[in-house]
Amino acid sequence: MNITLAQAEKMISVAKQKSTSLDTKMNIAIVDAGANLVAFGRMDGAWLGSLDISIKKAKTARYFDMNTGIIGELSQPAGPLYNIEHSNNGLITFPGGVPIKNKDGEIIGAIGVSGSSVENDHAVAEAGATAI
């Protein structure tokens, strides 16, 4: 099972609406079950540096099938996954990456959002991930 482009575009559309409702400008990336990019959109005026971060958040969420913020709790100094960010050409482990599941609960991809506070990033990612 894999996410379709139509589903990914629907998620980006919903994520953009959520972003606008929060008065933010986001980079939004969707990867498939293979952690490869399916769709991407950078809202006008969004931070340029968040382009790469949004893609890395999506990949990180699919690499480990969990919200990125959970990994970030484990990767702190003295934590069990300290500096895991050095793997996979760079992980991003703060909030904003969320796995995407189909109606049977199977993970079919992930969404990564970056451009505001991590709370806003996560809220927009969650809105996108649950849009289908």
Interface segment toward its own copies; rule CB under 8 A; list 28-36, 98-106, 123-131: 28-36
Residue among 10, 17, 22, 40 that touches its own copies (CB under 8 A): 40
- Check residue 116 for interaction with its own copies (CB under 8 A): no
Question: 73: Cβ–Cβ under 8 A, 6 or more apart, which residues?
Answer: 79
Interface segment toward its own copies; rule CB under 8 A; list 82-90, 98-106, 123-131: 82-90
122 vs 127 by CB, closer to its own copies: 122
Interface segment toward its own copies; rule CB under 8 A; list 31-39, 97-105, 123-131: 31-39
Beta bridge partners of 30: 39, 111
DSSP assignment letter at 41: E
In terms of Cα–Cα distance, which of 104, 96, 108, 98 is closest to 24?
96
- Check residue 39 for interaction with its own copies (CB under 8 A): yes
Question: 15: Cβ–Cβ under 8 A, 6 or more apart, which residues?
Answer: 26, 28, 111, 113, 124, 125, 127, 128, 131
Rounded Cα–Cα distance for residues 85 and 71 (Å) = 9
- Check residue 17 for interaction with its own copies (CB under 8 A): no
Residues that bind its own copies (CB under 8 A): 4-6, 8-9, 32-44, 47-53, 56, 59-60, 62-65, 72, 75-78, 80-95, 117-118
